[in-house]
Amino acid sequence: MKRFNYKSIFIYSSLQFSGHVEEFFSENTEKLIVFVVMPRLKNKYNLLRVYSKGKLRKEKRIKSSSNIFLYYFLWWWHQNYFILKYFSKKDNFIIFGCHPVCFFGMSLIKFIKKCRYAYWVGDYFPGNSNIISLFERLKRYYHDKMNYAFYLSDNINKVFNKGEIVDNHNKKTVMWGIKPKKIVKKLSNKQFHMLFIGLIKDSQGLEFIFSFLRGHKNYKISIIGLCDDTLYLKYKNMIKVFKIENQVYFPNKFLSNDDLAKFSLNCDIGIALYNIDKSNPTYYTDPGKVKAYAELNLPVIMSSTSAISPFIKRFKAGEVISKKEESLQNALIKIKKNHQLYKRGLKKFNDYFYYKKYYNEKFNCFKI
């Protein structure tokens, strides 16, 4: 009989790249309740998944809403309903949250149930607006009450610990884990094919890419992700004005993990360009798209920002650039000429962040 490292846990997950956290805990937890919360944009439902002894026993759609107030209320309501329903008074379990809404009313839940809370802080939003300041104060308030705290980067770790990086049994940096896919591909002989995946915002360098493509007909890009209608129309119009329709594939939708893996067979590199100043939240975090590219065996070209860029440099898994047209072109040429060198770097990068080994060490505080 298999021995499980963890007894009972409630966690969050996503249908987008989320570092195989759900997969890791489902393999290693005797009883696991997973709440999959979708992005609010065009959202109608979330998902409940119930695992027992490593096997998925139940999956159910849960009502949600695109309305901002209903979205967070239904999120909070369902979380606590699941906790009360699926964990008995005898269960000694972990509630592993990722957002302040996860912790509303936790004193009452801790009074009713035998549980401990953990907070995986995945972002930090710098800024002086009242809403952002209130949100960050709320995050810090709950962070300071946690049994366990984890941080998606050392940068976030320092923000929440007075400029110091804390690394002990209950508080530490835990970045996204990786599960490399066995993908064998050849370089494109004609147009060098860039891939962009993820939720699309106007701070991710796509306008710069479109401008670059206008003067470089031997490159193309596929954009796999979702954005709001206004931004989508703006980008479609830009693509038309620049006359690069044959160089851009932009369906404004996500693909399943399996479909994305198949689609990536025709791609040569992953692209992740951001604003590089410290006012951009990406500076502080570990953006999922970079790890997703690495899983797909795609060398990465990214801006010189975020907590993951030093690892891209360290393992030579891609190129870290400033967002200038010349820098992008030079990086593309280097990767095309030295493709095997970057593939070896990707393997080292993926081995370092391999999710089973990496999380087994990082989440040892939850073990029975």
Same-domain check for residues 139 and 149:
yes
Q: Where are the alpha helices (DSSP H) in the chain?
A: 21-28, 68-86, 106-112, 130-143, 154-160, 206-214, 229-241, 257-263, 288-295, 309-315, 325-337, 339-352, 355-362
134 occurs within a structural domain:
yes
Residues 18 and 167 in one domain: yes
Q: Are 217 and 169 part of one and the same domain?
A: no
pLDDT value for 59: 97
Query: Do 258 and 293 reside in the same domain of the chain?
Result: yes
**Span 106-164, pLDDT tens digits:** 999 999 999 999 999 999 998 778 999 999 999 999 999 999 999 999 999 999 999 99
Could you read off the pLDDT of 111-127 as tens digits, one per residue?
999 999 999 999 999 87
**Distance separating alpha carbons of residues 363 and 368, to the nearest angstrom:** 11
Which structure tokens are listed for 108?
């009452």
- Total number of domains constituting the chain: 2
Per-residue pLDDT, averaged over 19-41, amounts to 93
**pLDDT of res. 258:** 84
CATH at 44: 3.40.50.2000
Q: Are residues 134 and 210 in the same domain?
A: no
In a domain, residue 359? The reply is: yes
Closest CA to 354 of 128, 179, 119, 142: 179
Shared domain for 28 and 159, answered yes or no, is yes
pLDDT at 1 over 80: no
- Residue 80 sits in the same domain as residue 213: no
pLDDT digits (tens, 9 = 90+) for 295-330: 999 999 999 888 899 999 999 999 999 877 779 999
Average pLDDT over residues 254-277: 88
Residue 183 has pLDDT above 80, yes or no: no
pTM of the model: 0.89
Checking if the pLDDT of 331 tops 70, the result is yes
* 183 domain residue, yes or no: no
How much is the mean pLDDT over the chain?
A: 92
Buried b (16+ CB within 10 A) or exposed e, 170-188: ebbbbbbbbebeeeeeeee
Q: Within a domain: residue 94?
A: yes
- 179, 349 in Cβ contact below 8 A? no
| Residue 237 clears pLDDT 80, i.e. is over it | yes
Asked if residue 99 is part of any domain, the answer here is: yes
* Token output for 200: 């699309």
3-class SS of residue 64: coil
Residue 164 and residue 24 share a domain = yes
Higher-pLDDT residue of 72 and 18 is: 72
**187 in a domain, yes or no?**
no
Q: Does 329 lie in the same domain as 359? A: no
- 35: domain range? 6-177+354-366
Cα distances (angstroms) measured from residue 364 to each of 78, 353, 356, 358, 368: 28, 16, 12, 10, 9
